[in-house]
Amino acid sequence: MAVILNLVHNRKGNNRVELRLYFPENKEQKYRSTGVEVESVYWNAEKECISDKCENRILLQKRLDDFVKPYRDLEMECAYKNVPFDKSALEAFETSKALPEMELFVGYATPCIETEYNTNKITYNTYKKYKNVMRRFAEFSKEVCGRDIRLNDFTREILDKFEVWLQKGHKQNTINKYLTVIKTYTDRARAEGKMTVNPFTNHKKAKAEKPKRPFLTEEELAHLESLELTNKTDRLVLDKFLFSCYCGLRISDNTDLLRSDIEEDAKYGMKIDKVMRKTKAHVSLPLHFLFEGKAERMIKRYIAEYPDLETVFPYVSDQTVNGHLKTIMAKANIDKEATSHTARHTCATLLAEKTGNPFVIMKVLGHSDIKESMTYIHNTYQSLMDGLVGVKW
């Protein structure tokens, strides 16, 4: 028996128009989202089309016709070849990439990410994060949905399932970041007219957990400064980490810090004058007046040791830095899960303790919002209160 194709409206009370495929032999039915939403008053159920009363009738009806046509063509092709239009034929048809209206979400987003990276709109680290989000979404699609998700199938229900799936191995902050990336490309697809359903309609992100900002104390920094290391990579990693503790630069800015970014003044000593890679914010860091000029002395040592380099430090990858830091912290008997970013938090926290001035933190770290700098002031005050509670005077 031939498959029955028809359009249905508002099946789940969401005003969506879906294509229903009914297989009489086993009395099974499949639904495919057309990506079109229309209020009931504008749907002609008898003729299975958009009503003439709808202002956008021509556009919406064309989208419906364009969506249904390939299925009708497949139906005719199966009849012509005298082969059944069954679920196997449907699956083979839908996995084909010959249909632009059936474009996969990941297949759409991935080239966008590649283009943004190749045109320097996103950094390499951001590129890697975005690609990882798409890889995880593709895994979810096959594991939970049993198929790749197409633009016109990406509904709120799919989004909710993805969010639940992520909860198995991720904290809420990470989940929210994943959803932000997904929304970037669903919004883009909708703006380009490739997607009319908005999976984020009435969606609210769960409240994020308060981010942990691990930092080292002055005593712990002193332990690291006095640490004797024979491995050259360990020594380089530790120096780069300490350098960021002394001046607050992110590891990415630390890595590509050029000697041309360094200015010297007879009165005020060395200054870093640089545009940060991540935020594009400009910072001017008077190294002579930060942490007793330790960063300044380190720069002079590395320039003398590596006179032919354009950068201040020899190159070492972020992964290498984080990997060696674990070994270094263990050797220093510091029981903290330190990463390269811990150095930046350390700098901000110590500045908060020593100056109590959020504007100093804002200028040194290049924050765009004073609230971010105030976080370190509040944390320092909380440490004070925690230390005072329970003291017997």
Domain membership of residue 45 (yes or no) is: yes
Position 313 pLDDT exceeds 90: yes
| Per-residue pLDDT, 135 | 94
pLDDT band at 317 (very low <50, low <70, confident <90, very high): confident
Domain membership of residue 84 (yes or no) is: yes
Q: What is the DSSP letter of 392?
A: -
For residues 90-119, average pLDDT: 75
Position 384 pLDDT exceeds 50: yes
Domain harbouring 227, CATH code: 1.10.443.10
Domain boundary among 75, 101, 127: 101
Domain membership of residue 121 (yes or no) is: yes
Amino acid at 155: T
| Between 242 and 379, residue with greater pLDDT | 242
> Do 42 and 136 fall within a single domain?
no
Q: Which helix (H) or strand (E) holds 339?
A: none
Domain membership of residue 335 (yes or no) is: yes
Position 194 pLDDT exceeds 90: no
Q: Rounded to an integer, what distance in angstroms lies between the CA atom of residue 138 and that of residue 290?
A: 47
> Do 114 and 94 fall within a single domain?
no
| Per-residue pLDDT, 100 | 44
> Do 72 and 158 fall within a single domain?
no
> Do 97 and 109 fall within a single domain?
no
Domain boundary among 36, 67, 101: 101
| Per-residue pLDDT, 214 | 85
Domain count, the chain: 3
Q: Rounded to an integer, what distance in angstroms lies between the CA atom of residue 191 and that of residue 7?
A: 25
> Do 315 and 232 fall within a single domain?
yes
For residues 143-168, average pLDDT: 90
Percent of the residues in the chain that have a pLDDT greater than 70, as a whole number: 92
Position 126 pLDDT exceeds 50: yes
Domain membership of residue 210 (yes or no) is: no
Domain membership of residue 264 (yes or no) is: yes
Can you give the pTM of this predicted structure?
A: 0.58
Q: Rounded to an integer, what distance in angstroms lies between the CA atom of residue 185 and that of residue 163?
A: 16
| Per-residue pLDDT, 249 | 92
Least confident of 8-12, 43-47, 172-176, 305-309: 8-12
Position 376 pLDDT exceeds 90: no
For residues 151-175, average pLDDT: 90
Amino acid at 124: Y
Domain boundary among 74, 101, 128: 101
Structural domain including 110 reads 105-191
| Per-residue pLDDT, 178 | 95
> Do 171 and 61 fall within a single domain?
no
> Do 361 and 227 fall within a single domain?
yes
> Do 238 and 120 fall within a single domain?
no
Domain membership of residue 135 (yes or no) is: yes
> Do 183 and 311 fall within a single domain?
no
| Per-residue pLDDT, 295 | 94
> Do 222 and 364 fall within a single domain?
yes
> Do 171 and 311 fall within a single domain?
no
For residues 365-380, average pLDDT: 79
DSSP per-residue letters across 227-266: ----SHHHHHHHHHHHHHHHH---HHHHHT-BGGGEEEET
Domain membership of residue 196 (yes or no) is: no
What beta strand segments (E) does the chain contain? 4-9, 16-23, 28-37, 43-44, 49-50, 262-265, 269-275, 282-286
Percent of the residues in the chain that have a pLDDT greater than 90, as a whole number: 38
> Do 119 and 96 fall within a single domain?
no
Give pLDDT tens digits for 205-249.
877 666 677 889 999 999 999 999 999 999 999 999 999 999 999
| Per-residue pLDDT, 310 | 94
Give pLDDT tens digits for 278-293.
778 888 899 999 999 9
For residues 327-354, average pLDDT: 90
| Per-residue pLDDT, 117 | 84
